[in-house]
Amino acid sequence: MSETKERPVVTAFGWVPDFARGLVRDLRVRWAFEEIGRPYDSQLLNAMEPRPEGYLQWQPFDQVPAFADGPVKFFESGAILLYLGEQDERLLPASGQSRWSAISWLFAALNSVEPSIGAMVSFDLFHADKPWAEGARSATASLVERRLKRLSDALGDTEWLAGDFSIADIAMVTVLENLRHTDMVAGFPNLAAYSERGRQRPAYRRALDAQLADFSDQPPHAGE
């Protein structure tokens, strides 16, 4: 009897507003799967409703993505990228300088670049009408600019952050994509080209298509 291997599962939302489509972080995981041609399943959650019973034991902050591969269950997009990278050198070199450069840049994307971008985007999208928004936005925007400048200097004219394409680039390109409603990345031509290079990869296109295909057109009704 042939053994059927369970596919890994990533949680995602079944609907989000237009501004968030293409930005939800399950995209990072889908992209990694597409790069190595590994099939996976998405488990869709209702973004507008409490998560299913027990979800907090899987993802303690009630967010997506959470991930399961057979008996292994955990969360955090960066950890999931690392897990997949450990299994395939097309995502993460197995040893040496390039491995640790890629891991450094993975952490840098999520730890040094994403936080200020995330804060600024939240001011733009959710707090623009608040009396304090302008000052908070402009303080955060200058931090974002400084981070982009350092990133641009470090990238220089190289193609990817750590030698060959890696999980670091999946993280960084998806982080930068959060600025798509601004011209901030365009202010750094090498970053704009880097970002475009990432988004032109067939695996990115397939991952994006899969995320978009999972969204329904209408917000779910309460209780669905």
Ligand X SMILES: N[C@@H](CCC(=O)N[C@@H](CS)C(=O)NCC(=O)O)C(=O)O
Residue 24 in contact with ligand X, rule: CB under 6 A = yes
Residue 77 in contact with ligand X, rule: CB under 6 A = yes
Give the nearest distance from C-beta 60 to ligand X in angstroms. 11
20 burial via Cβ count (<10 Å: 0-12, 13-18, 19+): middle
Question: Taking contact as CB under 6 A, which single stretch among the options 62-70, 93-101, 158-166, 173-181 is the one that binds ligand X?
Answer: 62-70
Chain-centroid distance of CA 152 in Å reads: 19
- E strands within the chain? 9-13, 41-45, 66-69, 72-75
How many C-beta atoms lie closer than 10 Å to residue 41's C-beta?
Answer: 11
Can the peptide bond before residue 50 be classed as cis, meaning omega within 30 degrees of 0? no
Residue 49 in contact with ligand X, rule: CB under 6 A = no
CA distance 113 to 143: 9
Question: Taking contact as CB under 6 A, which single stretch among the options 57-65, 87-95, 128-136, 188-196 is the one that binds ligand X?
Answer: 57-65
* Closer to ligand X by Cβ: residue 24 or 103: 24
DSSP state, residue 202: H
Q: Which of 43, 63, 101, 190 binds ligand X (CB under 6 A)?
A: 63
Question: Taking contact as CB under 6 A, which single stretch among the options 76-84, 99-107, 131-139, 152-160 is the one that binds ligand X?
Answer: 76-84
CB–CB of 75/27 below 8 Å? no
Q: Which of 34, 35, 76, 124 binds ligand X (CB under 6 A)?
A: 76
Question: Taking contact as CB under 6 A, which single stretch among the options 63-71, 158-166, 202-210, 213-221 is the one that binds ligand X?
Answer: 63-71
Q: Which of 6, 41, 49, 62 binds ligand X (CB under 6 A)?
A: 62
Chain-centroid distance of CA 7 in Å reads: 21
Contacts for 82 with CB less than 8 Å, ≥ 6 apart: 92, 103, 106, 167
Residue 147 in contact with ligand X, rule: CB under 6 A = no
Give the nearest distance from C-beta 10 to ligand X in angstroms. 10
Interface residues with ligand X (CB under 6 A)? Answer: 24-25, 62-65, 76-78
